Structures are given as structure tokens and as C-alpha cells.
Amino acid sequence: MGVETSLWQRSRQAAYDEITSIAMGLFLDQGFEQTTIDQIASTAGISRRSFFRYFGTKEDIVLGDLASQGELVRAALEEVPSTVGPWEALREALHAVDALAIDPDVTMKIATMMYGTPSLRSRSIEKHLHWQTLLMPDIRRRLGIAEDDLADPAPGAIVASAIACLDAAGEVWVRGGGRDDLATLYDRAVSAVRGRS
């Protein structure tokens, strides 16, 4: 049974990867909004119904990894010693999962498409809200706030601000044609939010 399950999972992952590759090629070639689900399904040789077995929305093709990356950031954050402050711990966690590293050759076109497409932008924000839910418990502990104390806005404000800084840094990175270092841009954004020069 285990071997059969593993084979099924590998087959499903291979199909997922192939559909993603085909869709991304279409998006980058003719634009995200100009590419339809029917066109993706047809090019991939699957039915529209089969498409929805792999993806909930067209936006999920571009942003699918963003949700799972949130789980990686949470795991990395929990590995940072509890003596490290919340802002520094978040930076370490983002760095640990390469959220502050970008491959310019691969990412520029995708990032440009994301920041220039309203539906992708809003879906990205939605997934980042999920990150906030994942990361807040750790930050709450670092601040010495009891788990059941939901009256203090500090943990949510810090996590939301860090995510907003990451988003702002990414947008500036795209506008600058990928010339700047994303981690440096993130640090500058955080310094501005924290009132540091």
C-alpha cells in the first residue's frame, strides 16, 4: 500500500509540475490575464475538470508555493533561539528559507507579472495573511505575551509589518530591474517601519 501511495504521489506531483510549467510558459508569453484556464488545460492535454483537481484558481499556479513557504518560515522561526528578539528572529527565519534571496533570471518576469496583475496581488496578500496566522504564536512568546491574551496587538502588528516590508522590498526590487539586493531592501524597509535611520 505504501509503495502504491508513493507512486500515486509521484505521478500527481509530476502532473502538477508539468501543468505549472506549461501555464507559466503561457503566462510569460502572452500575459497572465490573457491566458485562460481552458487554454492551459488544452495545452496540457487535460480537461478543465482535471485542472481543478490540481489548482483552486489560476492564481494558485503562480503563487502555489507561497502558502507552503509560510510553513517553512514558521518552522525556521521556531528554530531561532527564544532569546532573539521578534524582528531579528523573523529576519533569520526569512533568510533561512531563502525568502530574501532571488534568482534574477527566473524571478524577474514572474515578479513583474505578479506586481502588475491585481488578481495575483490580492491572492498574494491573502496567502501572506495565512503567514501571519502561522507566525504570530512564536512572536507572541518572544514578547512574553500569554497564549490566551488576545488583547495585545503587538504580535500581529510586528508580523504584518515584516510581511509588508518583504512585499514593499519585492516591489522596489522589480521596479529597479533586479539590480538591488532584496535582503538589503527588506532591511531598509524594516528600519523605516521601526523608525531607524
Give residue 13's pLDDT.
81
CA dihedral (75, 81, 87, 93) positive or negative: negative
**2-54, which class in CATH?**
mainly alpha
Digit-coded pLDDT (tens) for 53-62: 999 889 888 8
CA 56 distance to own-chain centroid: 16
Give residue 48's pLDDT.
94
Whether the predicted pLDDT of 103 surpasses 70: no
Was domain 59-193 assigned CATH 2.30.330.10? no
Give residue 14's pLDDT.
87
Whether the predicted pLDDT of 106 surpasses 60: no
The mean pLDDT value for 156-168 works out to 95
Residues of the chain with CATH 1.10.357.10: 59-193
107 or 89: which leads in pLDDT: 89
Q: What average pLDDT is seen over the chain?
A: 88
Q: Which three cell numbers stand for residue 107?
A: 524571478
For the chain, percent of residues with pLDDT exceeding 70: 93
Whether the predicted pLDDT of 184 surpasses 80: yes
Instruction: Kindly provide the b/e burial profile for residues 60-72, where b requires at least 16 CB atoms within 10 angstroms of the residue's own CB.
Output: bbbbbebeebbeb
Whether the predicted pLDDT of 154 surpasses 90: yes
Taking the C-alpha atoms of residue 167 and residue 120, their distance in angstroms, rounded to an integer, is: 13
Residues of the chain with CATH 1.10.10.60: 2-54
One-character DSSP codes across 42-86: HHHT--HHHHHHH-SSSHHHHHHHHHHHHHHHHHHHHHS-TTS-H
105 or 30: which leads in pLDDT: 30
pTM check: above 0.85: no
Digit-coded pLDDT (tens) for 63-76: 877 777 889 999 99
